[in-house]
Amino acid sequence: MLKVMLERRMYIQMKKKQTTDNKKLIMLAAFVAVAMSVYQLYISLFPDISLMQQRAIHLGFGLVLTFLVTSFKKEGGKSNIDNAIKVLLISASIISIAYIYKKSETLIDNFGFPTTWDLIFGTLVILLSLEAARRVAGYGLPILTIIAISYVFLGPYLPGVFEHTGIQFERFISSMFLTTEGIFGSILGVSATFVFMFILFGAFLNQSGAGEFYIKFALAFVGRLKGGPAYVGVLGSALMGMVSGSGVANAATTGVFTIPLMKKVGFKPHFAGAVEALASTGGQIMPPVMGAAAFLMVDFLGVPYTSIIKAALIPALLFFITIFFMIYFETRKMNLEPVPEDQIPRLLPLLKEGFHHFLPPVVLVVLLTVFKYTPLYSAVITIGFIVAVSWLRKGQRMTPKQILNAMEDGARGSIVIVSLCALAGIIVGIINLTGLGLELSSMLIGLAGGSLMLLLVLTMFSSIVLGMGLPTTASYIILAILVAPALIDFGLHPIGSHLFVLYFGVLALVTPPIGACFYITAGIADANPLKTGMMSMKLGIAGYIAPFMFVRNEALLMIGSPIEILLALSTALIGTFALAAGAQNYLVYRTNILWRILLIGSSLMLIEPTFLTDLIGVGTFLAILIIQWINKKREVMKENRSLNEVI
């Protein structure tokens, strides 16, 4: 009995020690996260160190914070062993980054002639980046990076386009570690500047209460429509997308609120999950904040950020409008009811209380487009504006604690991007070092055999497959290097080519069988994941077609005269409406198989931007609409006559 009591006491003391250790670890992680945000804000305003040093410190913070907040195994493991591993990895990260910072001026001078310490720390930074990426994003990109590194040394033994002369270990480390062409290249530079600051912007916006306000606004604005919760999910996710730029985070945030509401008014669980997954995914293509990929696009193309968000606007609107059309037809088919009145906030009092939450995104766009400030400087100013404008409402003023929480959230939200960009820098460096990019581009064009449509289809499948296994940012980087150049060489607009690969990389999140977004929403909806994924594809069918439209019709990228843009937008809207009607088997009333084929066919005709195809597509749709409207009117008149005869 005494032995049992002693063992029980020892167990309680051990648990108390673990709890105390966990609290200390949480506090340390919070301190490092806030310090990272403070550093990023300072360096954005006062960039008084070299690019190499700036990127090295950014990577150092990212590595240390990653190892603090994650465990060696997902399930945790023994506390003492895990803590020992943390100490080892964090120490290695700090020492490696300190070496780079101190030797940054002479490191580049050592290019081609690395010292023993250069080789040791270069190898160590690569290994640390691989482990950090594995912890936060899974095995996909680390495995791809290891394959790429193996390719560097196995080149002489490979066949065909993959063969190269081979590269020595010293030269490889020199390129990856001693220059701004590998780990510390422009991709990590984008993470250290634009991407981090916009993640921090989203964190401040959320801490100010904007996220909750956007959902309430969507509920007040469209909740009274039949099937209102589905519209709330789409509108709320579109607004949240401007803040988070992350499909998975968006789905988890808004889905817990919108999906139960959708189910409550009669939507099937898999439909509710599909709507939320699709709308949340669309956040990554919704200007003005489109996630990390948009900023990387700026770096790849060397164009202003405003050019990217301008080109992305119409395709993004078409994406969300089509989902609205799909919901409208589903609601008509099922005759669903709106949200109960007692659950809908009043719009005017809500706007009076929280209108200021709309101002930060507007200020951001004005700074970018009117004042022509850089995205980095615009984000910093807007963060300050968020804090200042919160003081307009007495009960909503951001406290010092909320500001610190925003800094912590922003840094924590960046750690995935930091490690992914480090590995992506290695992959891009290897592609440039071996000349693989040019070879694959030529091979793709050769496989297409001169057919643009075949090249686009090959690119679409490549993007979706890669997007299923990798985070959107990582898949976009690889596709932008390997695939997008082939589209550009074929004569397509550079922005359109990059948006094409980005779209399908994003849509991989809702494409079965492995779509991260629909798995999350299916769990919330208590629905079958595969069924939810198939419904996501059906509802988002316009997202799979829109890229084929905007690469062939640049007016949809807002390139051209106002008349050309307006005409392209008009035909695109008609096409998406016809497509939604065909997909949902409903227009004025339920359609038969012939009407359905004609509706989908008319929408596909509008992909080709010619007068004849537009005429056939629009003409066919209008003919079906008029015929159904006349038939419906006759049916109503017949029912009224029958009713009068009975009376």
Show me where the domains of the chain are located.
Answer: 2-169+176-189, 212-288+309-344+435-551, 560-647
Residue 15 has pLDDT above 70, yes or no: no
How many Cβ atoms are within 10 Å of 2's Cβ, its own excluded? Answer: 6
DSSP SS3 for 614: helix
Q: Which residue's structure tokens are 């039949």?
A: 226
Among 274, 276, 277, 246, CA closest to 258: 276
Show the tokens assigned to 36.
């990272």
pLDDT value of position 645: 61
Helix extents (H) in 46-184: 51-69, 79-107, 116-137, 140-154, 169-177
Query: What confidence score (pLDDT) does residue 19 get?
Result: 52
Task: Compute the residue count for the chain.
Answer: 647
Predicted confidence at residue 106, as pLDDT, reads 72
> What is the widest separation between alpha-carbon atoms in the chain?
101
SS (H, E, C) 220-242: HHHCCCCCHHHHHHHHHHHHHHH
Burial class of residue 187 in the structure, from the number of CB atoms within 10 Å of its CB (0-12 exposed, 13-18 middle, 19+ buried): buried
Contact predicate 56/97, CB 8 Å: yes
Answer for the pair 601, 616: CB distance below 8 angstroms, yes or no: no
User: Helix or strand or coil: residue 350?
Assistant: helix
- Secondary structure of residue 195 in the 3-state scheme: helix
Is 90 exceeded by the pLDDT of residue 128? Answer: yes
Task: Give 200's contacts (C-beta < 8 A, 6+ positions apart).
Answer: 37, 40, 41, 379, 383, 406, 407, 410, 411, 414
| DSSP single-letter state for residue 346 | P
Query: Averaged over 453-465, what is the pLDDT?
Result: 90
Q: Which residues of 579-606 are buried (b: 16+ CB within 10 A; e: fewer)?
A: bbbbbbebbbeebeeebbebbbebbbbb
pLDDT bin (cut points 50, 70, 90) of residue 149 is very high
Q: pTM for this one?
A: 0.84
Whether 599 shows a pLDDT value over 90: the answer reads: yes
What's the angle, vertex CA 33, arms to CA 29 and CA 38, rounded to 5?
145
In this structure, are residues 241 and 356 in contact, taking their beta carbons and an 8 Å threshold? no
Q: Is 590 helix (H, G, I), strand (E, B) or coil?
A: strand
Range 543-561 average pLDDT: 93
Pair of tokens at residue 125: 């930074």
The two structure tokens encoding residue 303: 């164009």
Q: Which is nearest to 501 in space by CA: 480, 473, 522, 521? A: 480
> Mean per-residue pLDDT for 55-82?
86
Distance of alpha carbon 394 from its chain centroid, rounded?
Answer: 34
Give pLDDT, residue 241: 66
Confidence bin at 152 (pLDDT 50/70/90): very high
Q: Which residues lie below 8 Å from residue 2, measured CB to CB, with a gap of 6+?
A: none
Helices 228-244 and 305-334 pack at an angle, to 10 degrees, of 160
More confident residue, 395 or 460: 460
**Is the pLDDT confidence value at 557 over 70?**
yes
In this prediction, residue 4 carries a pLDDT of 38
Q: Tell whether omega for the bond before 512 is within 30 degrees of 0, i.e. cis.
A: no
Distance CA 357, CA 209 (A): 8
The per-residue pLDDT for range 412-437, each reduced to its tens digit, is 999 989 999 999 999 989 988 888 87
Per the model's pLDDT, the better-predicted residue between 296 and 557 turns out to be 557
Tell me which range, 55-69, 102-116, 162-176, 472-486, is most confidently predicted by mean pLDDT. Answer: 55-69
Average pLDDT over residues 56-77: 87
The mean pLDDT value for 483-503 works out to 92
pLDDT of 5 > 50? The answer is no
Chain segment 181-199, per-residue pLDDT in tens: 899 998 999 899 988 998 8
How far is 151 from 439, CA to CA, in rounded Å?
Answer: 14
CA distance linking residue 174 with residue 440, whole number of Å: 25
Average pLDDT of the chain, as a whole number: 87
pLDDT of residue 646: 59
Quick check: 124 pLDDT over 90? yes
Indicate the range of 156-165, 272-281, 440-449, 504-513 predicted with least confidence.
Answer: 440-449
